[in-house]
Amino acid sequence: MRKLKPEDLYSLEDYSTLRADFRARVMDHKKHRRLQFGDHLTLYFEDRLTMHYQVQEMLRAERIFEAGDIRTELDVYNPLIPDGSNWKATMMIEYTDVAERQAALEQLVGIEDLIWIQVGEQDRAMAIADEDLERASETKTSAVHFLRFELTPPMIKDLKSGIPLKAGVSHPAYSFETEEIPGTTLESLIADLD
């Protein structure tokens, strides 16, 4: 999948005009790129469109228009665009109650390394977490992690031929396995593998 370049972005002025329509399109797109693991853990699969939106929102919020600063934002977000043989996801651990979230983050140390996907009966592919920087300690994990799932050529071939996909988390304090990933979500993810 092609990375974003400065010429792919809207100017601040153009984005202010296009923002409502662009946001609606991205939100509709994101609906099919989300996996919920129980009540408190969600994967949001990123792609070029979701990162384009994220960059535009950062430029807008920070009023960034200088070429060097725009390049810095692209350098931050481009690594979250899949490379054609992988999926990249933002993992969120979500609790509305602050004290409950704090306790959960202490119990869920290492959870980011125990997220997996499985194509048919092939071996599970474990998430590779937080390649940019460490987000957890020995006593507490973070509420947000960035994951990469590397797929082998046989996995990609099977997915494209209709073999089902499952996903899950295998942490002693939080275990969950999806049923077969629904068609619209799976189609959206397979599109990342071209």
Both 6 and 67 in a single domain?
yes
Both 94 and 24 in a single domain?
no
Both 11 and 101 in a single domain?
no
Nearest to 44 by CA among 146, 183, 171: 146
Residue 112: partners with Cβ closer than 8 Å, 6 or more residues away: 91, 127, 129, 130, 135, 136, 141, 142, 145, 147
> Strand, helix or coil at 56?
helix
CATH code assigned at 154: 2.60.40
pLDDT per position as a tens digit, 119-168: 999 999 999 998 876 777 788 999 999 999 999 999 999 999 999 999 99
Both 133 and 194 in a single domain?
yes
pLDDT per position as a tens digit, 77-96: 999 999 999 999 999 999 99
Both 39 and 60 in a single domain?
no
> Strand, helix or coil at 51?
helix
* Residues paired with 169 in a beta bridge: 115, 176
Q: pLDDT-based confidence at 48, cuts 50/70/90? A: very high
Both 67 and 115 in a single domain?
no
CB contact at 8 A, 176 and 169: yes
Q: Tell whether pTM > 0.85.
A: yes
Both 136 and 70 in a single domain?
no
Structural domain range at position 192: 33-45+83-194
Both 53 and 146 in a single domain?
no
Q: Which two tokens stand for residue 2?
A: 């092609």
The amino acid present at 103, given as its one-letter code, is A
Neighbours of 11 (CB within 10 A): 10
Both 40 and 91 in a single domain?
yes
Q: What is the pLDDT of residue 88?
A: 97
Both 185 and 101 in a single domain?
yes
> What is the C-alpha separation between 191 and 185, in angstroms, rounded?
10
When divided into structural domains, the chain yields a total of 2
* Residues paired with 91 in a beta bridge: 43, 145
Both 99 and 136 in a single domain?
yes
> What is the C-alpha separation between 182 and 193, in angstroms, rounded?
17
CB contact at 8 A, 45 and 189: yes
Both 58 and 92 in a single domain?
no
